[in-house]
Structure 1
Amino acid sequence: MKKTEPAASALNKKKKIPDSYVILFAMLIIASIATWIIPAGSFERTTENGAAMVVPGSYESLPASPTTLYDFFLSIQSGLIDSANIIFLVLTIGGAFAILDHTGAIQAGIMKLIRKTQDKKYALIVAVSIVFSAAGFIGALQTAVIAFIPIGIIIARAFKLDAVAGVAIIYLGAYAGYTIGGLDPITTGFGQEIAGLPIFSGLWFRFAVYLCILTATIAYLCYYISKISKDQNRSVLGDIPFPAEVENNSAIPSEFTHKHKVILGYFSFCMIGYVIGVFNLSWGLHEMAALFLVISLGTAVIEKISANQYVSLFIKGAQGMLYAALIVGLARSIVVVLENAYVLDTIVNSIAIMLQPLPGVLAALGMYVFNLAFNIIISSASGQAAIVVPVMAPLADTIGLTRQVAVLAYNFGDGFTNIITPTSGILMASIAIGGVPWIKWLKFVMPLLLIWILIGAVALGIAVAIDLGPF
């Protein structure tokens, strides 16, 4: 049977959309070519409290070390090894949620919540976003956000939305708080410590900016959800709201049983334990992966799942996450190429030289724009702080800016572009879990990013105008 012209056209258009792996591989090629153009160089580094930090004014040129064809392919292997903690976390989460999904506890619990709120989806979505943003604000959800993406997908399916909305409810909610990092020891705390500022100083100002970011995010989410609720074809995913790899055809239980409550109570208890561990025992990705094994095993015991069935369900769930897991390693390989060629310090030093003669406000905005761009290469908050803040803080002194402004420029730059940077393993894993191509996510989130950037620019201007100090 011959395809109609519109159908064939739609099919051809779909074929033209590159897969996220293709995009990342192309970026790896570009990064490798850049190492032949950008001069190599390095700052001296000192180690303080276990973190390597650059010494301002110590930049020196180095012999060129461009990426060879051998280095190019080896970087992919190195990226996978460097990202092993996130990769195995994603696989473990996939296995654990397959066990939870089999019990129907999360689905039944969400449906019960929806019925209790009398189908007030906006109220529920806003509440979920606020809770996750608060967790992001205190630094509890930067990496842990991956674990909750499947719950966002379940909420989106229940409200007949799309996978983009499911990812956004959780991811954008968390990162609306994380971008400011008011009480995050890894971003704000570390950056202020390097700059010689009191830890978590300027909290009142950061909280005011956080409220603006959160309000803009919730408004944007509600606008998108309203748009696709009226017409599903207005979804950025088109007429396939949930890609086949995340579509779940199992029936949602009609009754929220006592066993479901026990399973959700056990899951909540474990996650609360993890949050306590983060703040008191410095827990990280390794402990989270172990915790999800504990969650899956405990759930299997409560549900009385046999050993063989447990293995079958867990492996099937992990297999479903393989795409999301491996893409993290490919994203990391781009950073490996740039680090091994010693070009990152050259970029930082060049920008510092360009900013030095600029007046206060322009210099602050210049720092901000640089950090926004640099975060696309180095998405690690602590990694970016260790490279950028030791250079920008003394530079702020010479320009006449406060060091608090320099740290804010780093904070906003590091935080905002986390929602689009393809070198972020957390982002790429989160959207891959939802089956959302990076190009589609970019199309959805770019207007919001521009709003965030504008809010950040205004906030920096105010910080310069009021001479925002250390307290």
Structure 2
Amino acid sequence: MQEKKKLKVPHVYVLLLSIILVCSALTYIVPAGNYDMMTIETGNGTRDVVDPATYHSVESSPVGLMGFLSSVPRGMNEAAGIIFFIFIVGGSFGVLQDTGAIEAGLGRLTRTFAGKETLLIPVIMIAFAFGGSVIGMAEETLPFIPIMVSLCIALGFDSITGTAIVLMGAGAGFAGAFMNPFTIGVAQGIAELPMFSGLQFRLVVFVVMVAIAIVFVMRYASKIKANPQLSPMYEIDRQREDNLDLDNLHEFGGKEKLILLVFVVSIALLIYGVITYGWYFNEISALFLGMAIIVGLIGKMGLNGFAESLGKGMAAVAAGALIVGFARGILVVLTDGNIIHTILYSAANLLSTLPSAVTAIGMYIFQCLLNFIIPSGSGQAAVSIPLMAPLSDMVGVTRQTAVLAYQLGDGISNIFTPTSGYFMAGLALAKIPWTKWAKWILPAIITWYLAGAVFVVVAQMIQYGPF
């Protein structure tokens, strides 16, 4: 008997090229249009936002074959900061890994938590959740992913568990944020709401979203601990070169402790720099490159040894890093075709015809879909809130509810959609294929979406305000 051929999931490059092709075709169908932009004060400085009363048709600019093909290299150029950030961080951790300090430190931690490994999961996830909620921690989580992957594999879990502790912890906090200045602060400023008003209701949202994430990860981790072969990453994890060998651990001596101290100080500087000086990709990349140089000196790697470890670390994340450029190609095509604002305009007109209770859910669904196109939190606020705020006034939905719909719609899919640059960077660092991750996390994403819908409905019912 012939074996039935198993349905093979397309490679993520194929999926993204297919999406770009569909979006290119839409530029021939969807009428081109634009809103004029205006500059307003948001409480976090000035911001360019759309003027909701200025939508107008523009000349059609369909994306042809050359536009389709050039969208990827242009996307690579536009996302160069993220791509090279992945290379630098990946290379820096390659140097750190080759010193043996991480292996020695994680080996010591593994022995300490022997028999009670699952206790680590909620503690670490809650810490990341507060980071996501209070300071909008997203890109800043990336350096932690390789460490948590190695730790979780050593503790008898898998790479998905390690990655989920970081991404789902911070992602739950980001989606259920109670005072994120980059999402709630910007959106409330545009909607002319008091800064961080409605905090008590968002605290409930935060607790529920984080609880869903923790339960989901802990149940999965317990299952993998009992039977490692159930992991979608079982074969890949077995072939990793950076796994901990618990029977032959590197000595955890003074040199290793000093290297880990340098790493801890680097993380502290990262947090301080982000909060105090607004560091972003260039500064964070510089920080980790400096860390790698110091670590290489302490580890006595030599100049060539340092360079080889750096290059090897960069090569390990290359395929994943380039995904970011492919994903950015989607936005390039939609922008070239002048159809992003048309999609916004059509959605606003549709929502304005619905009853207020249905409109609130409609706003939420719209924001959920919009995040697949514009994964930037503050960017999505700048584009959508100027439309949703006056619309909410017209249909009897409070502006605070409209902001909540934006917050949840913007945050939930950030660790699912391939257009999210930092998320794809995280998968690249963890060496997890997007298709495996997407299949694994989909039940949690659906649960989050349903919980978000309930919160939006409740907010509308209680006239969540102040207005």
Cα offset, 1:435, TM superposition: 2.3
The question of whether the paired residues in 1 share the 8 Å contact of 2:154 and 2:244 is answered with: no
**Match for residue 17 of structure 1?**
9
Cα offset, 1:84, TM superposition: 0.8
Cα offset, 1:250, TM superposition: 6.7
**Match for residue 147 of structure 2?**
151
Cα offset, 1:439, TM superposition: 1.9
Alignment partner of 2:166 out of 170, 195, 201: 170
The question of whether the paired residues in 1 share the 8 Å contact of 2:142 and 2:425 is answered with: yes
**Match for residue 259 of structure 1?**
255
The question of whether the paired residues in 2 share the 8 Å contact of 1:140 and 1:278 is answered with: no
The question of whether the paired residues in 2 share the 8 Å contact of 1:242 and 1:435 is answered with: no
Cα offset, 1:372, TM superposition: 0.6
- Residues 108-146 of structure 1 deviation map (CA, whole Å, 9 limit, x = unaligned): 222222322333111012211111111111125211122
Alignment partner of 1:39 out of 22, 26, 31: 31
- SS class of match (1:423): coil
Q: 1:358 to 1:249 in 2, by over 3 A?
A: closer
- Residues 151-203 of structure 1 deviation map (CA, whole Å, 9 limit, x = unaligned): 12102210232222221111111111111232222111111111111222222
Alignment partner of 2:365 out of 363, 369, 374: 369
Amino acid at match of 1:22: V
Amino acid at match of 1:59: Y
CA–CA separation in structure 2 for the residues paired with 1:112 and 1:176 = 30
Amino acid at match of 1:86: I
When normalised by structure 1's length, the TM-score is 0.94
CA–CA separation in structure 2 for the residues paired with 1:181 and 1:337 = 31
CA–CA separation in structure 1 for the residues paired with 2:172 and 2:236 = 24
When normalised by structure 2's length, the TM-score is 0.94
Alignment partner of 1:414 out of 393, 410, 413: 410
Amino acid at match of 2:63: T
CA–CA separation in structure 1 for the residues paired with 2:229 and 2:109 = 27
Cα offset, 1:211, TM superposition: 0.6
Cα offset, 1:304, TM superposition: 2.1
CA–CA separation in structure 1 for the residues paired with 2:266 and 2:81 = 20
**Match for residue 248 of structure 1?**
242
The question of whether the paired residues in 2 share the 8 Å contact of 1:182 and 1:203 is answered with: yes
**Match for residue 129 of structure 1?**
125
Amino acid at match of 1:197: L
- SS class of match (1:242): helix
Structure 1 stretch displaced more, 48-57 or 459-468: 48-57
Residues 255-404 of structure 1: pairs in structure 2 closer than 5 A? 255-404=251-400
Amino acid at match of 2:242: N
The question of whether the paired residues in 2 share the 8 Å contact of 1:56 and 1:390 is answered with: yes
Structure 1 stretch displaced more, 363-372 or 224-233: 224-233
Q: 1:243 to 1:352 in 2, by over 3 A?
A: farther
Q: 1:223 to 1:251 in 2, by over 3 A?
A: closer
Amino acid at match of 2:278: S
Cα offset, 1:272, TM superposition: 1.3
Alignment partner of 1:213 out of 189, 193, 209: 209
List gaps (5 residues or longer) in structure 1.
Answer: none
Amino acid at match of 2:71: S
Cα offset, 1:254, TM superposition: 4.9
Residues 64-79 of structure 1: pairs in structure 2 closer than 5 A? 64-79=60-75
- Residues 245-270 of structure 1 deviation map (CA, whole Å, 9 limit, x = unaligned): x4425746354322222222221112
**Match for residue 91 of structure 2?**
95
**Match for residue 51 of structure 1?**
47
Cα offset, 1:466, TM superposition: 1.7
- SS class of match (1:369): helix
CA–CA separation in structure 2 for the residues paired with 1:115 and 1:274 = 29
CA–CA separation in structure 1 for the residues paired with 2:312 and 2:19 = 31
CA–CA separation in structure 1 for the residues paired with 2:421 and 2:66 = 24
CA–CA separation in structure 1 for the residues paired with 2:245 and 2:302 = 22
Cα offset, 1:331, TM superposition: 0.5
**Match for residue 235 of structure 1?**
231
Structure 1 stretch displaced more, 178-187 or 379-388: 178-187
List gaps (5 residues or longer) in structure 2.
Answer: none
Q: 1:22 to 1:243 in 2, by over 3 A?
A: farther
Q: 1:77 to 1:50 in 2, by over 3 A?
A: farther
**Match for residue 56 of structure 2?**
60
Cα offset, 1:241, TM superposition: 4.7
- SS class of match (1:13): coil
Identity within the alignment, %: 38
- How many equivalent residue pairs? 461
CA–CA separation in structure 2 for the residues paired with 1:203 and 1:103 = 46
**Match for residue 469 of structure 1?**
465
CA–CA separation in structure 2 for the residues paired with 1:52 and 1:398 = 23
CA–CA separation in structure 2 for the residues paired with 1:124 and 1:256 = 21
- SS class of match (2:258): helix
Amino acid at match of 2:6: K
